[in-house]
Amino acid sequence: MKLLFKQRLFSWFDSYDIYYESGERAFTVEGQLSWGHCLHIHDAAGRHVGTVKERVLTFLPQFELYEGDRYIGCIRKEFTFFKPVFTVDCRGWQVEGEILEWDYKIRDSAGARVAEVSKQLLNWTDPYVIDVRNPADALHALMVVLAIDAEKCSRN
């Protein structure tokens, strides 16, 4: 299953629209004014389904993940020199990226592919394609992509 991740061009805070390949809206993401990034995820019906919230005052970037209002884990950037690596402690997932940070692979603890993320180049905003192997992992994969995009935004 593929999700198309598009940042809204004119927005005061981080806000995104996420679509299925068919063009049907899957999720919307609205940023909130806060210390660090705080992104609220809503399903197509407008129900709040998750939050990605940046922990502040940490040595390396960390983001708390909430499904609904329930804390499910954290994604943290690991200290590396060449390839960015993120660890997701709620699912045993690991994220490995390329040096230019446009393409990512999310793998489970056994090394199997959960999702692949690629960035489309030469656009005004940051459009990503998230290819999720199991549709049940779509929300969590989206949370990972949001955290990585927020970390890149903070760094730049």
Predicted local confidence at residue 138, as pLDDT: 93
- pLDDT tens-digit map of 25-61: 999 999 876 667 899 999 999 999 999 999 877 677 8
Task: Please check whether residue 104 is in contact with residue 88, taking contact to mean a CB–CB distance below 8 angstroms.
Answer: no
Look up residue 45 and give its DSSP letter. T
95-134 exposure pattern, b = at least 16 Cβ within 10 A, e = fewer: bebeeeeeebbbbeeeeeebbbbebeeeeeebebebbbbe
99 has a pLDDT exceeding 70: no
Give the number of other CB atoms < 10 A from CB of residue 135.
11
Predicted local confidence at residue 135, as pLDDT: 93
The domain locations on the chain are 2-76+121-155
Predicted local confidence at residue 31, as pLDDT: 86
3-class DSSP state of 102:
coil
The model's pTM:
0.85
